[in-house]
Amino acid sequence: MKIYWIHAQAPRRVLALVKHLGIEAELIEQDVVAGQMQRPDYTALNPNQKAPTLVDGDLVLWESTAIMAHLCIRAGSDLWPAHAPAEQVEVLRWLAWNDCHWAPAIDAHYFERIVKARFDLGEPDQEAMRGREADIAKYAAVLDGHLRGRDYVACGRLTIADFQLASMAVYWREADMPLQPYPHLVRWLDGLIRIPAWAEPWPDRPGP
């Protein structure tokens, strides 16, 4: 099995899961700055020219959510509840909520503060971050309310929904995301970081 990745939040979910489940895979970093994902051989695998991409025998799969589900099925892990339809619905609700509401609310802070610094893309655009703060307040309140009395987002245990929702929010302090007023959300994020594979997901460097 091969997994193509870059140092960014969607591949981070997949790399953390690979490590957490002890899956054997060849992890191949792509040079995003050199445009490696725009090359024809990579584009043939992933026409979006993004990471992650998984190749498992004849299966070529992109979208980190689908890749996480595939890895769980292959490893027999209930982080994706393949044999429990009601739990699947519960996890799917949060995966969809992430992609439609939570990620778009927090991605400006993640991009402006984390990605720009990582890839040397210049100064953060304060206005871009300020423009998202109303949405952050709205959706952080939803997640915080849900996490009151819960340690995980779905099914009362760790699932791929936790990795999905936390992949940008894990950087909330460095990214200045205004999440301090949401104690249950902060407790959940601080709890996840005690999972070794979540705290250190990268094959080639320490830290989150």
Ligand X SMILES: N[C@@H](CCC(=O)N[C@@H](CS)C(=O)NCC(=O)O)C(=O)O
Q: Which residues bind ligand X (CB under 6 A)?
A: 6, 8-10, 32, 37, 50-52, 63-65
CB of 184 to ligand X, least distance (A): 25
Cβ-based nearer residue to ligand X, 128 or 134: 128
Cβ-based nearer residue to ligand X, 63 or 135: 63
Q: Mind giving me the DSSP string for 18-72? A: HHHHT---EEEE--TTTTGGGSHHHHHH-TT--S-EEEETTEEEESHHHHHHHHH
Cβ-based nearer residue to ligand X, 54 or 186: 54
CB of 187 to ligand X, least distance (A): 26
Burial class (CB in 10 A: 0-12, 13-18, 19+), 122: exposed
DSSP state of 119: T
CB of 9 to ligand X, least distance (A): 5
Main-chain phi, psi angles of 108, to 5 degrees? -65, -45
Interatomic CA distance for residues 76 and 72, integer angstroms: 6
Q: Residue 81: how many CB atoms within 10 A of its CB?
A: 22
Cβ-based nearer residue to ligand X, 10 or 179: 10
CB of 82 to ligand X, least distance (A): 19
